A and B are shown apart, each in its own frame.
Chain A
């Protein structure tokens, strides 16, 4: 456990350092790139001092860390508003989208996987497997436009993009959730099939439990463990996927904020977005790990 905490700390420190170093990777003078060549010398010096770029790298890093400790991400160069306010405005939208996508992924993927496992070898199983393999290979920038074309343009039952109506969230959430559900279908199927061969399932059947009880009470509980890990790991691609998906559907979340900041060369905002998404991912991974430990008594008790 101590080892885990230690490695968590080094990873967080590494993430902080790498995002800090980003601004130093800008070719040439970052201040000039951000303000443009026409900016006056006075303006440049103000920004340079604001970003601390006139100090040594070590003291810049110290300043960066101490600011972050006070939840101070700096000020946006473009809109002059504190970045923390921008993030507070945008983060809930991303969170909502990611959670709904997660819900779709789990809600569709796990039942489909169970169904495929129960029908193993039949045509239903084959169909589900083929479709899920194809779906999991579909990137957001292909699936998103296709869903948009079908449901918003041809059928015209859902809004094309934006976030004006409550149903606006459906298409982006589907875009994000589909891939996850495809992966979960395959994992649930494999995991459940493995468990169904175990001795305790035979015992459960032998003592006269109904098939429903065998599946729901005994098999599924054991089969869900690896699925928790997969969900945790997939949250990463979900979070990264929000960047593309939010851009396609004009969904005002962190991903779109990131893309906008890149277009405007507003590097402090870019830095803050990257840091936030990466840290969210690290936290999700830690939570997954904890959940896994709680769910599996073998690990919890250190066997």
Chain B
């Protein structure tokens, strides 16, 4: 398998889809490691491909990503409140990353259902967010 990073389009995908993914790659980060995302073509061999996807080069995986603000809150929650959804796993970096991803997923669902998050990102600045950031530092 190969990855072509910064892939900008694929005939089989609609322009809306590729545009949305490109915008998201600029705004969102990996929900596991918090790293930057890229648009990529994942191909089995030089003759095939599944289309453009969001990809985390650090985690080496297809990754839809999360808003950075939500990631920070999820990271704070996992690190400070001993959250552990993966009890049968060894406590290591991967365990922490998976827990952050789990909380980030739940928070994203909450924000979306509260009407605070849509395909363009967060609609409003989060209340007390600056205060939270100071705490986190």
Q: Do A and B come from one complex?
A: no
| Chain B residues within 8 Å of A, Cβ to Cβ | none
